[in-house]
Amino acid sequence: MSKPFSDHDKRKQISVRGLAGVENVAELKVAFNRHLHFTLVKDRNVANKRDYYFALANTVRDHLVGRWIRTQQYYYEKDPKLGLDMEELEDMEEDAGLGNGGLGRLAACFLDSMASLGLAAYGYGIRYEFGIFNQKIVNGWQVEEADDWLRYGNPWEKARPEYMRAVKFYGRTEHTPDGVKWVDTQVVLALPYDTPIPGYRNNIVNTMRLWSAKAPCDFNLKDFNVGGYIQAVLDRNLCENISRVLYPNDNFFEGKELRLKQEYFVVAATLQDVVRRFKASKFGSREVVRTDFAELPNKVAIQLNDTHPAMAIPELMRVLVDEEKLGWDKAWDVCVRTCAYTNHTVLPEALERWPIDLFHHLLPRHLEIIFEINHRFMEFPGDHDRMRRMSLIEEGGCKKVNMAHLCIVGSHAVNGVARIHSEILIATLYVFKDFYELDPHKFQNKTNGITPRRWLVMCNPGLAEVIAEKIGEEFIRDLDQLKRLLKFINDDAFIRDIAKVKQENKLKFAVHLEEHYKVKINPQSMFDFQVKRIHEYKRQLLNCLHMITYYNRIKKEPNKHWTPRTIMVGGKAAPGYHTAKMIIRLITAIGEVVNHDPVVGDRLKVIFLENYRVTLAEKAIPSADLSEQISTAGTEASGTGNMKFMLNGALTIGTMDGANVEMAEEAGEENLFIFGMRVEDVDAMDAGKGYHASEYYNRIPELKQAMDQIAGGFFSPKQPDLFKELVDLLMHHDRFKVFADYEAYIKCQDKVNQLYKNPKEWTKMVIHNIAGCGKFSSDRTIAQYAREIWGMEPSLEKIPAPDEKLK
């Protein structure tokens, strides 16, 4: 199939790529050929697409290296010239799938913003050999495949064996007159791999450092004997398993020993790095080893992205008290002033609570330290019940360490990730209310954001160009400038341009789906997306009920004018999350019936998008007309998918949850399709008569019909009781109250259809949304973290490029 882009459009794309800055094509060509020859050891006769990708990647990397080194010192389509299709080469790049969903993606956006705002910042993590699994759909079911992303090598990383660190596990503690010793430990080495993080056109290149586990040379060879040698070398694998694979759960805690090992591994290696860098930092004019640890919080801020790195708190205490010989009180003061904690969820099943036995076995000294922290914390006056609620150690069958409590007590700042989420944190008893009452000044909000470089300029060059034609290019580093688009809200040419870019993106995505998945969709239909991890709280099931209802309506009145829709759902289910996998199966089952019904034709298609990940998001989101953000109010902490769609000119149908609330505030509530219960309504229902699914089922005929169809095997004729469990869940134990929002949701979807019939009014609403996006730049988020938590000042200044003179 041919590409929908004309030569004019290609030039347009290239000129926006120009925004991202390739200046000297001749030089580029020389460097490219040099890499193909000397690095890849290939010539044009034998080079394949992957070789060209690596040659290009290495060329770009060279461009970054000078700036990378300098920054660290300073802190201390067819391209006619190359004869290559750049888009095809871009597609060779593997996703670095080192996170599960929104949380990891947020960290990536933050790295981009920190470099673009000139902050001397490092991102730390684990270099998983296998990232989030690749999802295949086989006969309608999710099947997982290992993500062997490093198979062909990674051109962006640089191993730094000279900065290898030792991390200890197991053993026991000895309390001696000169302090506590942690002995008889097993050692695992942490080998750092550095990746450059370039800022936006400011010559700054920060570092992301990921740790890989490596067995020491003498691993298991202490009591060397001839028979043991081979086994000892084979057993090196066991300890190198620490960085083997990402746990694929999103918003769910799995208390496995290997996972606790991972969490401590990254923290222990990182803190050694931080302390080494502090000790080597300039001290007045003299260059000596620093020991004035009271200064640490003035030099370093550690931001804990959820409780996954919570072990940083007891580990920093261990380093300061046991190794650097600070007194407890001094060390604690340093620790609290250095650390800050971001909470990302209120779902109880997601909160990390580690069994004490496991802890004692793996990290005996840290458990002692946590007991000591708890003992001293529990000194405050208060009633017994409150003390029990706030303890870092939960009593009960098996004692557990509550990592969120540890983070709150060990940090000087605690924040939620959207206004409504931060309010819920301090207002709800089972979450952090008691801590708030004790220490209200600690609690803050930092509403999440996304980087406009990736999520607008890179993924949607056509839209970036149309915007730049009206307001220039400043919006790329100052997203609030998008407000200036409101001046053009009645400019017919502008409205047409915005609609045209959307149509082009839709066509392009339709071509992609046809080429890669052999599915044909109608590019004139409304592209309706729900793409995010599959989870009950995100309510993909509510979307399913709408698909079925719309289908039934078309069948009932086939000659009426129905707004054509392509409903696309994508996302991975955690491999152990049975209900989520059944939800995927239901969506594919609905698709099998709906997509083959000749009465419906192309007025409704239901597509499950396989293997949703960042590269697919970058293709899908620019093509979206409608963004589904339909979690039960009070359950989605912020969401960031919602922001990506808004910035790319989709309208939102959503509940008053997470950042949707602030999106409505920024764009005007009349410019979003808001429906359903508010948090107050949910709370009132729980406090009052409760949620009874059967009442809705009995009262609403279309809901009853849809449920009866699912239950009766209408979508699974070969296996009529396939969805029995899902039906039972929805009817009898639905924590997320799907039916309670069904009526409001369907009515709201009717309004969406009505507006879609009026393209001009639709596009004007889109423009209101784009213009209201400024707040959702991660630059704004990071500037607030910097000023309000880290005590740093962001800067848009350029530093000199390596070939320029330092002034």
**Residues whose CB falls within 8 Å of the CB of residue 291, separated by 6 or more in sequence, listed in order:** 279, 324
344 binds ligand PLP (CB under 6 A): no
Closest by CA position to 531, among listed 441, 624, 599, 448: 624
443 vs 612 by CB, closer to ligand PLP: 612
- Answer whether 104's CB lies under 8 Å from 305's CB: no
- At position 388, the amino acid (one-letter code) is R
- Give me the least distance between CB of 612 and ligand PLP, in Å please: 6
Query: Coil, strand or helix: which one is 614?
Result: helix
Closest by CA position to 17, among listed 9, 29, 26: 9
113 vs 763 by CB, closer to ligand PLP: 113
56 vs 630 by CB, closer to ligand PLP: 630
Which H or E run includes 504?
helix 492-517
Query: Coil, strand or helix: which one is 426?
Result: helix
583 binds ligand PLP (CB under 6 A): no
Name the one range near ligand PLP by CB under 6 A: 38-46, 210-218, 313-321, 606-614.
606-614
The only residue of 63, 67, 70, 105 in contact with ligand PLP, by rule CB under 6 A: 105
Concerning whether 775 is annotated as a catalytic residue, the answer is no
102 vs 772 by CB, closer to ligand PLP: 102
Q: Return phi, psi of residue 483, to 5°.
A: -50, -35
Contact track, ligand PLP, 469-508, x by CB under 6 A: ----------------------------------------
Residue in the shown chain whose Cβ atom is closest to ligand PLP: 641
Measured N-to-C along each axis, helices 742-756 and 701-712 cross at an angle, to the nearest 10 degrees, of 100
Which H or E run includes 775?
none
Out of 533, 572, 613, 768, the active site residue is 533
The only residue of 587, 617, 729, 730 in contact with ligand PLP, by rule CB under 6 A: 617
302 vs 738 by CB, closer to ligand PLP: 738
- Give me the least distance between CB of 102 and ligand PLP, in Å please: 3
Name the one range near ligand PLP by CB under 6 A: 70-78, 143-151, 196-204, 613-621.
613-621
214 binds ligand PLP (CB under 6 A): no
The only residue of 40, 101, 377, 715 in contact with ligand PLP, by rule CB under 6 A: 101
CA angle 66-68-73, nearest 5°? 95
97 binds ligand PLP (CB under 6 A): no
346 vs 369 by CB, closer to ligand PLP: 346
Closest by CA position to 650, among listed 619, 625, 623: 625
Token reading at 484: 């200036």
- Give me the least distance between CB of 571 and ligand PLP, in Å please: 7
- Give me the least distance between CB of 97 and ligand PLP, in Å please: 9
542 binds ligand PLP (CB under 6 A): no
- Give me the least distance between CB of 490 and ligand PLP, in Å please: 32
Q: Return phi, psi of residue 718, to 5°.
A: -75, -20
- Give me the least distance between CB of 756 and ligand PLP, in Å please: 22
102 binds ligand PLP (CB under 6 A): yes
Name the one range near ligand PLP by CB under 6 A: 199-207, 482-490, 638-646, 755-763.
638-646
Name the one range near ligand PLP by CB under 6 A: 83-91, 489-497, 639-647, 776-784.
639-647
105 vs 442 by CB, closer to ligand PLP: 105
In whole angstroms, give the CA distance from residue 518 to residue 510: 10
- Give me the least distance between CB of 101 and ligand PLP, in Å please: 4
Q: Return phi, psi of residue 179, to 5°.
A: 100, 180
The only residue of 614, 685, 727, 744 in contact with ligand PLP, by rule CB under 6 A: 614
Name the one range near ligand PLP by CB under 6 A: 85-93, 200-208, 542-550, 637-645.
637-645
Q: Which of residues 641-670 bind ligand PLP (CB under 6 A)?
A: 641, 644
- Answer whether 325's CB lies under 8 Å from 377's CB: no
Token reading at 710: 């699912």
Query: CA-CA-CA-CA torsion for 422, 268, 793, 293, nearest 10 degrees?
Result: 110
The only residue of 251, 445, 588, 640 in contact with ligand PLP, by rule CB under 6 A: 640
Concerning whether 361 is annotated as a catalytic residue, the answer is no
Concerning whether 421 is annotated as a catalytic residue, the answer is no
DSSP 74-123: HH--EETTTTEEHHHHHTTSPP---S-SHHHHHHHHHHHHHHHTT---EE
613 binds ligand PLP (CB under 6 A): yes
98 vs 362 by CB, closer to ligand PLP: 98
User: How many residues line the site for ligand PLP (CB under 6 A)?
Assistant: 12
In whole angstroms, give the CA distance from residue 761 to residue 764: 5
Concerning whether 538 is annotated as a catalytic residue, the answer is yes
132 vs 245 by CB, closer to ligand PLP: 132
Closest by CA position to 639, among listed 95, 105, 99: 105
In whole angstroms, give the CA distance from residue 425 to residue 311: 22
639 binds ligand PLP (CB under 6 A): yes
Please identify which residue in the block is written with the tokens 């993606």: 105
Concerning whether 344 is annotated as a catalytic residue, the answer is yes
- Answer whether 243's CB lies under 8 Å from 211's CB: yes
DSSP 448-506: --B-HIIIIIIT-HHHHHHHHHHH-SGGGT-GGGGGGGGGGTT-HHHHHHHHHHHHHHH
Out of 447, 640, 655, 781, the active site residue is 640
Beta strands in 673-773 (DSSP E): 673-674
Residue 450 DSSP label: B
Out of 532, 585, 605, 768, the active site residue is 532
Closest by CA position to 750, among listed 581, 629, 626: 626
Where on the phi/psi map is residue 326: left (φ > 0), alpha (ψ -120 to 50), or beta? beta
Concerning whether 42 is annotated as a catalytic residue, the answer is no
532 binds ligand PLP (CB under 6 A): yes
In angstroms and rounded to an integer, the radius of gyration of the C-alpha atoms of the chain is: 28
> How far are the Cα atoms of 135, 342, 357, 433, 678 from residue 253, in angstroms, in the given order?
21, 17, 17, 22, 27
Out of 337, 538, 581, 768, the active site residue is 538
- Give me the least distance between CB of 779 and ligand PLP, in Å please: 17
In whole angstroms, give the CA distance from residue 705 to residue 710: 9
499 vs 614 by CB, closer to ligand PLP: 614
- Give me the least distance between CB of 622 and ligand PLP, in Å please: 13
Q: Which residues bind ligand PLP (CB under 6 A)?
A: 101-102, 105, 532, 612-614, 617, 639-641, 644
Enzyme catalytic residues: 344, 532-533, 538, 640, 644
